[in-house]
Amino acid sequence: MLTDIMLFLERLPGIFKGAGELGIIYAVLALGVFISFRTLNTPDLTVDGSFVLGTAASAVLAATGHPYLSLIAAFLMGSMAGCVTSLLNTKLGIQPLLSGILVMLGLYSVNLRVMGGRPNIPISRDSTIFSIPLLEPLGDYKELALSLIILVIILALLSLFLNTRFGYVLRATGDNEGMVRAAGVNTDVTKLCGLAISNGLVALSGAMIAQYQGFSDIGMGTGMVVIGLSSVIIGEVVFGSKPLIRRLTAVALGSVLYRLIISIAFEIGMPPTDLKLVSAVIVAIALSASKIGGGLAKIKKKFTTGEDGGALNA
Amino acid sequence: MLELCGVSKTFMKGTANELDALKDVSFTLSQGEFAAIIGGNGSGKSTLLNCISGVYIPDGGSIKLDGEDITYKPEYKRAHAIGRVFQDPLKGTAFDMTIEENLAIAWYKGRPRNLRWGITRKDRELFREKLSRFELGLEDRMKDKAGLLSGGQRQALTLLMAIIVRPKLLLLDEHTAALDPATSRKVLELTKVFVKEEGIPTLMVTHNMKDAIEMSTRILMMNKGKLVLNVSGDDLKGITVDKLVDLFEEKSGEVLDNDRILLG
Ligand SMILES: Nc1ncnc2c1ncn2[C@@H]1O[C@H](COP(=O)(O)OP(=O)(O)OP(=O)(O)O)[C@@H](O)[C@H]1O
Ligand SMILES: [Mg+2]
């Protein structure tokens, strides 16, 4: 027993490093999901497809010797996927959730095409964003450092963007669409831009993951929405949500925390195959937290004062 | 100046539930006028305002604002000229954004929504000054989220948002109806001072006949989608609630029925 604990403690730094790396890269995805889920107030299922689109674009382009360019290409391709979802919704009147599902489904074929018909392509270690000579002195920490730099740049750009005149109306669209139209803004445009940026970030995250892990696989996207949502919710609950810059940072930290929880769960014996179930349960609990919380408060009140908890609603 | 000519609107056309919400409504609202709209439940008051603001596109007739035909203009394209306050206090603001951010969204109406700062120091000073004139203490809470405000504070904020860029037309749809009597007074008082005295052309749906008579230069009464009464100028002098009710019953041949109408 004691030796078990000793062994676990010894592995802890490695667990933290691995979770940190993954958490930081997935934080980009979480920020993308934040934009659709929080600022536009629609859970967007395109994510599962646009994530793989990012991994595919990155794998193909990195092989031609342009790993950095591949990040930009991935962002743009993800944005296009987001645009299609938004247009299906705003121009053809298909429900937001269904629009996302349709694009996700279509992207499966698109992604296979991008990958030249193969379900899995490897990426050479010598041709990734992490393999440039500039990063050599960092040794084992180069993945962590580079991912962190990219994340900080994105956080900065995003918080600047959301505080512009356009950013304001984008954020208000999810809150109160009617009010945004009453302020003279075409909400079709704000939704389009929102989903474009959201899926662009998701694809960018996919591109970085592919280069970090050394391959792109057609099945990598399953459940990415849920992972993004977990990070958003965990982040906001643990690290706070006011003001906006803190909220964005919290979402990024939420992603790292989520990875850490998952890694430790693996360490203490959770089978990797249970990962998706655990993620789904976490999100279900988090989304119902306010309801469960309210219910608990009611019960508590009933027991402590002997009165009906209904007064809480007053 | 607002000119409506034969405006009609039918909901669920071609179904068994077909409903004529507006039938051939015509009237003119001149510069600086303040008009009250009174009518029974479901008589089409909100539908009329929604057609003018572009939420619904009418099936027939035309709507002109300052000479421009806006009948078929999309809502967001005419919004810069029209201010609106709704009955539901939740409808006018973005609850997850701060008071000053809400005001900034309204303030940049009609100007490009580009990548400049959403709010500048100068804007903030202006908002603070305007809010302080409302005397609700909101000027010290500009960084609070709009969702934290009470219904009355929110209606006041929405009113300021509607007029901060002087609109060509202001539409108030029972904007005090969801508030308690004291708060309702306060918001109506603000409406008098900042809208009526400023001479912003206004259409106000109300169920308070006394307020209507006291504030308006024109009274419009609706029944089942029709405009049955349009009183202004000399005809309005010495009018009382009883006289209005009589006139309404004479013209429409029906009893004025609205469970919320205050006759007193
Ligand atoms: N979007 C809609 N679809 C179908 N019917 C509608 C719609 N909006 C309004 N109606 C119907 O049109 C009629 C007029 O409604 P409207 O909301 O204009 O009445 P109102 O005069 O504002 O009434 P109230 O005093 O209750 O607010 C009602 O019978 C209503 O049920
Ligand atoms: Mg109404």
Looking at beta carbons, which residues of chain B come within 8 Å of A171?
94, 96-97, 101
With a cut of 60, say whether residue B81 has pLDDT above it: yes
Task: Tell me the average pLDDT across B59-85.
Answer: 96
Residue A257 placed within a domain:
no
* Residues B134-185: tens digit of each pLDDT: 899 999 999 999 999 999 999 999 999 999 999 999 999 999 998 999 999 9
**B22 or A293: whose pLDDT is higher?**
B22
Cα A178 from Cα B94, distance rounded (Å): 10
Cα A128 to Cα A27, A71, A123, A221, B239: the distances in Å are: 19, 10, 8, 20, 83
Average pLDDT, chain B: 93
Q: Does A181 touch chain B (CB under 8 A)?
A: yes
Cα B167 from Cα A58, distance rounded (Å): 51
Closest CA to A278 of A215, A216, A234: A234
Q: Does B101 touch chain A (CB under 8 A)?
A: yes
On whether the CB atoms of residues B131 and B80 are closer than 8 A, the answer is no
A193: domain range?
13-222
Cα B124 to Cα A4, A205, B131: the distances in Å are: 60, 37, 10
Q: Is the CB of B42 under 6 A from ligand 1?
A: yes
Residue A139 placed within a domain:
yes
Cα A236 to Cα A30, A159, A232, B131, B188: the distances in Å are: 12, 16, 6, 31, 39
Residue A94 placed within a domain:
yes
Cα B203 from Cα B33, distance rounded (Å): 9
Q: What is the dihedral of CA B229, B233, B236, B237, to 10 degrees?
A: -170
Closest CA to A280 of A211, A223, A201, A200: A223
Q: Does A291 touch chain B (CB under 8 A)?
A: no
Cα B75 from Cα B56, distance rounded (Å): 8
A258 alpha-carbon distance from chain centroid: 11
CB contact under 8 A, A182 and B118: no
- Smallest CA–CA separation between A171 and chain B, in Å? 8
Packing angle of the helix pair A142-161, A187-213 (nearest 10 deg): 180
Separate counts of helices (H) and strands (E) for chain A? 12, 2
Looking at beta carbons, which residues of chain A come within 8 Å of B172?
none
Residue A309 placed within a domain:
no
* Residues B173-206: tens digit of each pLDDT: 999 998 999 999 999 999 999 998 889 999 999 9
Closest CA to A67 of A116, A117, A135: A135
The confidence score (pLDDT) of residue A190 equals 97
- Reported ipTM: the value is 0.92
CB contact under 8 A, A183 and B115: no
- Smallest CA–CA separation between B145 and chain A, in Å? 10
Residue A303 placed within a domain:
no
The confidence score (pLDDT) of residue A301 equals 62
pLDDT confidence tier of residue B254, bands split at 50, 70 and 90: confident
In chain A, the number of structural domains is: 1
B264: buried, middle or exposed (CB in 10 Å: 19+, 13-18, 0-12)? exposed
Residue A16 alpha carbon to ligand 1 centre in Å: 60
Of A165, A184, A185, the CB nearest to B118: A165
The confidence score (pLDDT) of residue A294 equals 61
Angle at B201 between CA B197 and CA B203, to 5 degrees: 110
The ligand 1 atom nearest the CA atom of B12: 4
Strand partners, B36: B204, B219
Q: Ligand nearest B9 Cα, by number? A: 1
User: Strand B218-223 and strand B34-39: pairing?
Assistant: parallel
Q: Does A120 touch chain B (CB under 8 A)?
A: no
Chains A & B: contacts with CB separation below 8 Å:
85
Local structure of A271: helix, strand or coil: coil
CB contact under 8 A, B76 and A178: no
pLDDT confidence tier of residue B260, bands split at 50, 70 and 90: low
Residue A230 placed within a domain:
no
Length of chain A: 314
CB contact under 8 A, A181 and B91: no
Q: Does B96 touch chain A (CB under 8 A)?
A: yes
The confidence score (pLDDT) of residue A310 equals 35
| One pLDDT digit (tens) per residue for chain A, 314 residues | 788 888 888 888 899 999 999 999 999 999 999 999 999 999 999 999 999 999 999 999 999 999 999 999 999 999 999 999 999 999 999 999 999 999 999 999 999 999 999 999 999 998 999 998 898 899 899 999 999 999 999 999 999 999 999 999 999 999 999 999 999 999 999 999 999 999 999 999 999 999 999 999 999 999 999 999 999 999 998 999 889 999 999 999 999 999 999 898 888 888 988 888 888 888 888 778 767 766 666 666 666 554 443 333 33
Residue A266 placed within a domain:
no
Written in H, E and C, the secondary structure of A100-122 is: HHHHHHHHHHHHHHHCCCCCEEE
Residue B48 alpha carbon to ligand 1 centre in Å: 9
**DSSP assignment, residue A40?**
S
The ligand 1 atom nearest the CA atom of B40: 25
Q: Does B199 touch chain A (CB under 8 A)?
A: no
Residue nearest to atom 12 of ligand 1 (CA): B21
Q: Is the CB of B46 under 6 A from ligand 1?
A: yes
The confidence score (pLDDT) of residue A94 equals 97
Neighbours of B80 (CB within 10 A): 18
The confidence score (pLDDT) of residue A312 equals 34
Residue A227 placed within a domain:
no
Local structure of A172: helix, strand or coil: helix
